[in-house]
Amino acid sequence: MNNINLPEHWKKAQLKEIASLRRESIQPEDDLSLSYVGLEHIDSGESQLKRWGDASEVKSTKSRFYPDDILYGKLRAYLDKVVIAEMEGICSTDILVVTANSKTIPRFLVYLLHTPLLIRRAVTTSTGVNHPRTSWNSLGEFTFALPPLPEQRAIAHVLQTIQEAKFTRQREIALERERKAALMDHLFSHGTKDEPRKQTEIGEIPESWEAVRLGNYCYKPDYGYTESANDAPVGPKFLRITDIQNDAVNWENVPYCIYSEAVKEKYLLKTGDIVIARIGATTGKAYIIDDCPEAIFASYLIRVRTKGNLLPTFLAQYFRTNNYWKQIDQSKGGRLKGGVNIPILNHLVLPFPSFSEQQEIAETLQACDTKITALQQEEQHLDELFHAMLDELMTGQRSAVPLINSRKTEPTTQSEYS
């Protein structure tokens, strides 16, 4: 336990005093109607199970669980895979099935197992080099401060409320992405003017549009600068593939690069430039430069700079369509074998409406992006709030009693622990 001053009415306890390990095994074929939960179904840091498989998908002996049991991933405990079950099922033997007794409630228990102190205990007691696993015997010795049942309910209520708000944002993000995907397919094939369509090599497009090759509407694409990144604040920022996360760049975390003035003009990024990952896990993914400090781009990126009447924001949105991905995938024999290169991009075919219609399409799709970004920021803030509250409520730094209806948090007595 740490040295935080805990409320006087909280009691010192060990995990094995409030919970036990369910040791019920089952063969999947004995009940094919049951759901199956593997480690791959549990999201790190989450307390709610969002997906699962079927018993028919697995073989060999599994562990049985029931509603309100806690499913704890004992493999690589630092991944923090712990959820509460809301149905009956079977699970991987790399998941401990933990059940609460009368001294605690399941919702409080699942949050207790997410606390940094418990995670630290699990990690330090894990054995095995390549596949480190903790055990119930080790976890059971974990010592902590246990509040009375009414306060446990209050703590669980507060944390669950925050998580449900976060889940709501996640669902809203998923729906907005689906809406944008449908809108994008429609706009790039039907346009905004409800005009007749014609058949082209990339499918049907409005009659007034053209199907053109990218190489005719951009300056010669460039491969990035080959140099090592430098953490010292000397030279321009040095944008790499790994610096682009979730269609965004945190420029404060981007390293620097020392370069000669002779190459500055060739590699310096400008607003409206589009960089594309030419190899690696994100091959083909594009990012448009909006507002950035003085920066150059690294060698595993290709820069595309439009010219003429091709609007960069329109092109950047097209780089997210299924039509774009289909073209660059087929050009490499499927699955983006060998990565993306300049000849592939030069020969890429894209729909080409008037400049004003490009603007209208780009602005419509950017509005979707803006909404998604706002929802993502709300989700991030709720996640940060959850972890802050988890730490404060579970260590007694903040009382949950004033945060819920007084009917649920009447003064505690000795008997309220059992």
The CATH number covering residue 100 comes to 3.90.220.20
The verdict on 171 and 266 lying in the same domain is no
- Kindly state whether residue 417 falls inside one of the protein's structural domains: no
The verdict on 195 and 246 lying in the same domain is no
Q: pLDDT tens for residues 183-222?
A: 999 999 999 999 999 999 999 999 999 999 999 999 999 9
Q: What is the CATH number of the domain that holds 359?
A: 1.10.287.1120
Q: How many folded domains does the chain comprise?
A: 3
The verdict on 6 and 117 lying in the same domain is yes
Q: Which H or E run includes 106?
A: helix 106-112
Domain's final residue, options 124, 146, 168: 146
The verdict on 405 and 341 lying in the same domain is no
The verdict on 21 and 142 lying in the same domain is yes
CB-based contacts of 143: which residues, under 8 Å, 6+ apart?
1, 12, 13, 14
DSSP state letter for 412? P
Q: pLDDT tens for residues 220-249?
A: 999 999 988 888 888 899 999 999 988 889
The verdict on 112 and 55 lying in the same domain is yes
Averaged pLDDT, 354-372:
97
205: left (phi over 0), alpha (psi -120 to 50) or beta: beta
The verdict on 275 and 335 lying in the same domain is yes
Rounded to an integer, what distance in angstroms lies between the CA atom of residue 144 and that of residue 155?
15
The verdict on 396 and 310 lying in the same domain is no
**The predicted structure's pLDDT at residue 259:** 83
pTM: 0.82
- Kindly state whether residue 416 falls inside one of the protein's structural domains: no
Give the residue numbers spanning the domain of 60: 1-146
The verdict on 297 and 348 lying in the same domain is yes
Residues 12, 76: contact at Cβ < 8 Å? Answer: no
The verdict on 187 and 317 lying in the same domain is no
- Kindly state whether residue 418 falls inside one of the protein's structural domains: no
